[in-house]
Structure 1
Amino acid sequence: MALTAVILPVAAYADKEDDNLKEQVDALQKQVERLENVAATRNTDSSFHMAGYGAVEYADSDSEVGAFNKVMVAPIIHYTYKDWLMFETEFEMSNTSDGGTELALEYASVDLFLNDSVALVAGKFLSPIGQFRQNLHPSWINKAISAPAGFGHGGAAPLSETGLQLRGGFPIGEMRTNYAFYIGNGPTLAAGVEPHEGDYELAIEEVETEGRTDDPDGKKSFGGRLGFLPFSGLEIGISAAKGKATVTDAFAGGHDGPELDIESSGEFDYDAIGADFRYGWKNLELRGEYIKTEIGKGSAGVTFHSDDLPEDYLGPSEFDDVETGQWKAWYLQAAYKIPSTSFEVVIRTSELQTPHFGENYSQQTVGLNYLFAPHVIAKFNYEMKDYDSLIAGEQDTVKLQLAYGF
């Protein structure tokens, strides 16, 4: 009797465990069937991909205390549908000097692949004028830490555009070519009021090419680049752009002065031309690029709101004549990967010339890179800036960077 009293509860417990196990198996079987049904009905024509790059930098210059001055990441998202549509976007997040965060939309576009040789791009895209901005500026691709003189914000090279673009390539006999042609809203202009010979003058300070979504002058800009690859290792490109631009930002005494509210501004001619090359042979890569942006005389003057002018602004509220000019930039770069090592030596010289003497400078960079992997690079740069202005003088900077692509 005692043995029976022990066995019966154990058997009942075993039967209960068998029932629980059977219920779990049945539930798992139903989940598997649901997953199989989802997989069978899922749209396999779509795909999603995420990439990007980032960097951490340290800089110590003659004029500033050494600091870790930059932490940034730029995720890039791609969505494709079948083989004829792709959406792509890149947004950059970086820290600020006070510990805050900056967020910028670098580009966002819908790309329609019309055939094997033509893609239609609609949205905000990197400017196809030249090579550096559209192909080389990511930190893990750029051989140096900084951009060449004049190829960053406020320089001679356009940054981005909002509009339509056709991209592709085609053969010419044995030679390959690539192209990118666009139409877009075009640039705008920033101007500054400066004392001049006992009076005041208004001068164009900067050509702003941030790919804005309005067109203040009402005239579209157009341009593009055509690249030729006559043989393996060599590419030669020519670029041009043309359009109109109008003053949308003005400051008393330059960008550091009070902002002036613009009532009206005429149209100014906008023209850009460029040429670039790239040659690779074994472990050696040579690159060079030249960009000239010119702002021509406008069709009318620039007028400010006289009722809204800052109290410390003493200049006139209307200018019939505006100082325009040319922004020119170029660079030459050599990079050599030392055989049987992970080290790479980089040398770059570049120069920016503007209508404003105090902003003109040349820049020389000597660098040593260590490649942990093709997409993970540590860089050491010694950068020398030499300003035309005696006030600005020379500035040497030691820079370190850890850059990665993913």
Structure 2
Amino acid sequence: MHVEAETEISLNEAGETEIELEYADIHYFLTDTTTITAGKFLLPFGQFSANWHPSWINRTPWTPGIYGSHGSPQAMTPLLPILSDVGIVVQQTFFFSSKQKIFLDLYVTNGASAEAHDEEEIVDEHVEEIIDEHNEEAEEDEHVEAFPEVEFEATSGDNNKAFGGRIAYAFLPAIEIGASYYTAKYDEDERLDITAQGIDINFIGNHYLIRGEYISTETDGLEEEDEHDAAEIAVFKRNGWFLQGVFQAGQIWPQLGGTELVVEYAKTNKFAEAKRWVAGVNYWLDARSVIKFSYEDTDVKVGDDDQRLAVQYSYGF
């Protein structure tokens, strides 16, 4: 058995300290290839949430825009947060050779819920104003201004259950490509669904890393009901992606030591369309200790743009 937990201490937008138990779970190694995990765990959706997000593994000081702020406010509206929930997951590994593997993760958790003040989302009627502010793509989506709000915060109570998993092919140590799925009902009447699908890639070269994910989501919401008809369900679609490239310059030119260069691009489409560039230089003091210098520039289609410079020291243990 293996027990793990992580506590996160952060500042919110009001400057107040927040303390959160990000995960606390138990792994039971049933066989050499089968593991059962129970408790509050990071859902195996994509690779960033469960594998890359620790600051000494993530190559920038920020979370990719498609996953939200995770302790640091950002201008982009995320597709999903870093998902953690209370439940159980079964992880199975299939070996084809010493280098070729299939990873399969299947889970059931307590699920999502509607935000208290948005339990029944009403679609905004001012479509003409939306079209003026957005490009032609907005004209195809009349519901862009009334996107339903879903709460993913893990609770010990039972919501409507969420189901999902990830399957990935790995040709070790260089390539891993995965596909993920998540679905849950999030309203008390169990009428409204939130569904997410994702593809992730991880290429590890001798002097470079290429990581990225694509996510698409479909969220049900209620249209405004009139005198004669009950509210109908509308489907709100979003998608986005990020790609990160790392060039380990110090491995080619030893005089540069542990220097590496990082470039990352993230984009979200449909509702809250935005794009973000990140460029940085990292210096590794040793295998677990890194200093990062990064600059990010976010362009938001409707709203305030954002630029920031950050210096971060990370130590993994």
Q: Same fold (TM over 0.5)?
A: yes
1:155 to 2:96 alignment: no
1:197 to 2:122 alignment: no
- Indicate how the Cα distance of structure 1 residues 98 and 271 shifts in structure 2: closer, same or farther if over 3 A, else same: closer
Q: 1:282 aligns with which of 190, 206, 212?
A: 206
1:36-93 per-position Cα deviation (integer Å, ceiling 9, x unaligned): xxxxxxxxxxxxxxxxxxxxxxxxxxxxxxxxxxxxxxxxxxxxxxxxx222211112
- Indicate how the Cα distance of structure 1 residues 97 and 267 shifts in structure 2: closer, same or farther if over 3 A, else same: closer
Q: 1:295 aligns with which of 204, 219, 229?
A: 219
- Indicate how the Cα distance of structure 1 residues 91 and 302 shifts in structure 2: closer, same or farther if over 3 A, else same: farther
- Partner Cα distance (2:186, 2:106) in 1: 19
Other-structure match for 1:241: 182
Query: 2:163 is aligned with what amino acid?
Result: F
Other-structure match for 1:181: 106
Other-structure match for 1:228: 169
Per the TM alignment, residue 155 of structure 1 is displaced from its structure 2 partner at its CA by: 2.2
- Indicate how the Cα distance of structure 1 residues 282 and 291 shifts in structure 2: closer, same or farther if over 3 A, else same: same
- Partner Cα distance (2:219, 2:201) in 1: 25
Specify the structure having the higher radius of gyration (Cα).
1
- Partner Cα distance (2:199, 2:41) in 1: 20
1:364 to 2:277 alignment: yes
Q: Which runs of 5+ in 2 are unaligned?
A: 70-76, 128-142
Per the TM alignment, residue 327 of structure 1 is displaced from its structure 2 partner at its CA by: 3.0
Other-structure match for 1:332: 243
1:257-299 per-position Cα deviation (integer Å, ceiling 9, x unaligned): xxxxxxx65521222111111111111111111111211356x
- Partner Cα distance (1:97, 1:295) in 2: 26
Per the TM alignment, residue 123 of structure 1 is displaced from its structure 2 partner at its CA by: 1.0
Aligned length: 281
- Partner Cα distance (2:106, 2:294) in 1: 35
Q: 2:150 aligns with which of 207, 210, 222?
A: 207
Other-structure match for 1:311: none
- Partner Cα distance (1:272, 1:109) in 2: 24
Instruction: Give me the CA root mean square deviation.
Output: 2.8
Q: Is the 8 A contact 2:4 2:24 kept in 1?
A: yes
Q: Is the 8 A contact 2:42 2:49 kept in 1?
A: yes
Q: Is the 8 A contact 2:61 2:310 kept in 1?
A: yes
Per the TM alignment, residue 100 of structure 1 is displaced from its structure 2 partner at its CA by: 4.5
Q: Is the 8 A contact 1:203 1:322 kept in 2?
A: no
1:339-382 per-position Cα deviation (integer Å, ceiling 9, x unaligned): 2122110000011235x3xx321011011011112222111111
Q: 1:146 aligns with which of 47, 62, 70?
A: 62
Other-structure match for 2:262: 346
Q: Is the 8 A contact 2:66 2:242 kept in 1?
A: no
Other-structure match for 1:383: 296
Per the TM alignment, residue 162 of structure 1 is displaced from its structure 2 partner at its CA by: 1.4
Q: Is the 8 A contact 1:346 1:366 kept in 2?
A: yes
- Partner Cα distance (1:233, 1:266) in 2: 43
Q: Which runs of 5+ in 1 are unaligned?
A: 1-84, 247-263, 304-318
TM-score by length of 2: 0.79
Per the TM alignment, residue 196 of structure 1 is displaced from its structure 2 partner at its CA by: 3.1
Aligned partner of residue 133 in structure 1, secondary structure: helix
Other-structure match for 1:401: 312
Q: Is the 8 A contact 2:123 2:224 kept in 1?
A: no
Other-structure match for 2:30: 114
The percentage of aligned residue pairs carrying the same residue is 30
- Partner Cα distance (1:290, 1:320) in 2: 32
1:126 to 2:42 alignment: yes
- Partner Cα distance (1:366, 1:93) in 2: 26
Question: What is the correspondence of 1:309-324 to structure 2 with a 5 Å cutoff?
Answer: 320-321=231-232, 324=235
- Partner Cα distance (1:148, 1:185) in 2: 26
- Partner Cα distance (2:32, 2:55) in 1: 30
Q: Is the 8 A contact 2:122 2:224 kept in 1?
A: no
- Partner Cα distance (1:302, 1:151) in 2: 30
